[in-house]
A and B are shown apart, each in its own frame.
Chain A
Amino acid sequence: AQSVTQLDSQVPVFEEAPVELRCNYSSSVSVYLFWYVQYPNQGLQLLLKYLSGSTLVKGINGFEAEFNKSQTSFHLRKPSVHISDTAEYFCAVSRTQGGKLIFGQGTELSVKP
């Protein structure tokens, strides 16, 4: 079985500062990894995904994540955040053979002026 742990439930940060949202996963089989963002009162939007290849993945809105197999991590980063990045961020994992997405508990990113 797979599991995902998001290490921070809340991350407050000032505008234009860098941010890292941490995600660790556990799995006995090969996995795909995802980050989704949920803005207030909205659905889930895919930020980026790691399927294979380069371990540094670039996504939308200036976000990137690095897959680290030895540390079973997939941390999300942005060098300079904006007020509009305030949202809930979810890390998720699925088996490469398909099946359900398993989500972490989410990290609430709060960007302050």
Chain B
Amino acid sequence: DSGVTQTPKHLITATGQRVTLRCSPRSGDLSVYWYQQSLDQGLQFLIQYYNGEERAKGNILERFSAQQFPDLHSELNLSSLELGDSALYFCASRGNYGYTFGSGTRLTVV
């Protein structure tokens, strides 16, 4: 157990639908990062939050959004899903020691 918790582990949904992925960072970590891993794009940074505020944006589509709540957990919302959104979505939290990743959510869009 890395200390970073992601739910659900697997998600299968249809095109056009909306899903929410959840991440709880390691205790005491204020930063949360979201990444998308796909076969053709590799590990792509999507977005970073620090203590509830958005800090950096990467290659995140307009159909995707995220937020970090007062208890520091974060949610990644994916809407109007397309087949190409099928991927493994990771979150990571950062402390003085470095970055720790959760086990990921595997999203399959059918």
Query: Residues of B within 8 Å of A, CB-based: how many?
Result: 20
Q: What CA separation (Å) do A42 and B88 show in the bound complex?
A: 10
If the complex has contacts A43-B2, A44-B90, A98-B94, are A103 and B42 also in contact, measured as CB distance less than 8 A? yes
What is the interface of chain B mostly: helix, strand, loop, or mixed? Answer: strand
Docked Cα-Cα span, A34 to B31, in Å, equals: 18
Judging by beta carbons under 8 Å apart, are A105 and B42 in contact? yes
Whether the pair A94, B104 counts as a contact (CB closer than 8 A) is no
Contact B98 A100, beta carbon cutoff 8 Å: no
Cβ of A42 and Cβ of B99 under 8 Å apart?
no
Q: Which residue of B is nearest A34, CB measured?
A: B98
Interface status of B92 (Cβ within 8 A of chain A): yes
Residue of B nearest to A38 (CB): B37
B43 touches which of A45, A46, A90 (Cβ 8 Å): A90
Q: What is the minimal beta-carbon distance from A82 to any residue of chain B, in angstroms?
A: 23
Residues of B within 8 A of A101 (CB): 33, 45, 92, 99
A43 to chain B, nearest CB (A): 4
Chain A residue with the shortest CB-CB distance to B99: A101
User: How many positions in chain A have a CB within 8 Å of any CB in the partner chain?
Assistant: 21
Nearest neighbor of B46 in chain A, beta-carbon distance: A100
> Is the C-beta of A63 less than 8 angstroms from some C-beta in chain B?
no
User: What's the minimum C-beta distance from B68 to chain A, rounded to whole angstroms?
Assistant: 15
Within 8 A of A (CB), among B29-73: 31, 33, 42-43, 45, 48, 55-56, 58
Distance between A52 CB and nearest chain B CB, rounded to angstroms: 12
A102 at interface by CB-CB < 8 Å: yes
Q: Which residues of A contact B (CB under 8 A)?
A: 32, 34, 36, 42-46, 49, 51, 90, 94, 98-106
